[in-house]
Amino acid sequence: MPYIKVAEVDEIGVGQGTLIERDGVTIAVFNAGGGQFYATSPTCPHEDGPLAEGWLEGDAVICPWHGYDFALATGACRVAPGLKVSVYPVRVNGTAVEIDLP
Ligand code: FES
């Protein structure tokens, strides 16, 4: 599927995430600063916490419920190595944040 615009760059604060719904798919999108954005599945695999309401620390998103962290590039959880979130390709095209949706 081609890349689809999901937000403007300035709509997501640095270090924060937001929830995006497009074509029946829900994804959490994060602004890591420096023009770098990431996208993951929206639900924490620990106990279904809302990852888009989490925050970034370095190259990981922290779940707001119990603090598990997930590497933005791979989706791997560092607290519980058996847990993982899906990650999706993101690019910035001008002022648009675009995701290659599954
Ligand atoms: S639900 Fe995310 S850490 Fe528990």
Domain ranges for the chain = 3-100
Q: Please say whether the structural domain 3-100 has been given the CATH code 2.102.10.10.
A: yes
Please give the average per-residue pLDDT across 46-52, as a whole number: 98
Q: Are 4 and 101 in contact (CB under 8 A)?
A: yes
CA distances from 41 to 34, 65, 76, 89, 94 (A): 22, 16, 12, 12, 24
Please tell me the distance between residue 13's alpha carbon and the centre of ligand 1 in angstroms. Answer: 22
Q: What is the pLDDT of residue 29?
A: 98
Question: What confidence category does residue 22 fall into, taking pLDDT thresholds of 50, 70 and 90?
Answer: confident
Mean predicted lDDT score pLDDT of the chain = 95
Q: Name all residues whose Cβ lies below 6 A of ligand 1.
A: 44, 46-47, 49, 63, 65-66, 68
